[in-house]
Amino acid sequence: MVESFQITISLLDSTIRIATPLIFCAMAGIFSERSGIIDIGLEGKMLLSAFVAATATFLTGSPIFGLFAAIFASCSASLIHGFACITNKGDQVISGLAINILASGLTITLGIALFSRGGQTPPLASEQRFMPIDFPFLDQLSYVPVLGELFVEVLSGHNILVYLSVLAVFFHLLCNF
């Protein structure tokens, strides 16, 4: 029983952490749909943003600069998609598919050109990452049988982007009521 509880706690912890980029991507899709644009290119924008974030962070050493570079890359790809679809009245699905193909090819090409690694960046050091945020009173709460472990393992210890993604979902839900 204790082992299955530990597995469940680990599963919840990793699910929250891994779902963060998907939550941000889904939120972008919601805003895109509300504006009347079908954005098939969300995966390509996510890939391009991840590559640009890791590259900018590796080159500058600043995760904040990497985050803003990723936002800029994604917004640039969105502007291209909007220009093709709105200004030139192009097909939204074809434009999104073109962004996906462009991002998958561009990240591999730039990865080889910059780092001699296809589509990959070198590993980032711990100071080049957003560090986990530990909530106060973790030591006292860790002794509480079920809630303490849930608080220490699942709710605490994530980076700022995880908490921002959860806040973005709740903010979106509040704005729609």
The model's pLDDT over 113-157, given as tens digits with 9 standing for 90+, comes to: 999 877 688 888 888 888 888 777 777 777 777 777 787 777 888
pTM of the model: 0.85
Q: How confident is the model at residue 177 (pLDDT cuts 50, 70, 90)?
A: low
What are the structure tokens assigned to 109, written together?
A: 């090409």
Query: Cα separation of 138 and 149, whole Å?
Result: 9
pLDDT given for residue 88 in this prediction: 93
The answer to whether residue 76 scores a pLDDT higher than 90 is: yes
Domain boundaries, the chain: 1-35+132-177, 37-129
Query: Cα separation of 148 and 154, whole Å?
Result: 10
Q: Which residues make beta-bridge pairs with 158?
A: 133
Average pLDDT, the chain: 89
pLDDT given for residue 2 in this prediction: 74
Nearest to 58 by CA among 133, 131, 111, 118: 111
Instruction: Give the contacts of 119 (CB within 8 A, at least 6 positions apart).
Output: 51, 107, 108, 111, 112
Q: How confident is the model at residue 169 (pLDDT cuts 50, 70, 90)?
A: very high
CA dihedral 161, 166, 171, 177 (to 10 degrees): 160
Q: Span 86-100, mean pLDDT?
A: 93
What are the structure tokens assigned to 140, written together?
A: 């006292």
pLDDT given for residue 81 in this prediction: 92
The model's pLDDT over 12-52, given as tens digits with 9 standing for 90+, comes to: 889 988 999 999 999 999 988 888 888 899 999 999 999 99
Instruction: Give the contacts of 79 (CB within 8 A, at least 6 positions apart).
Output: none
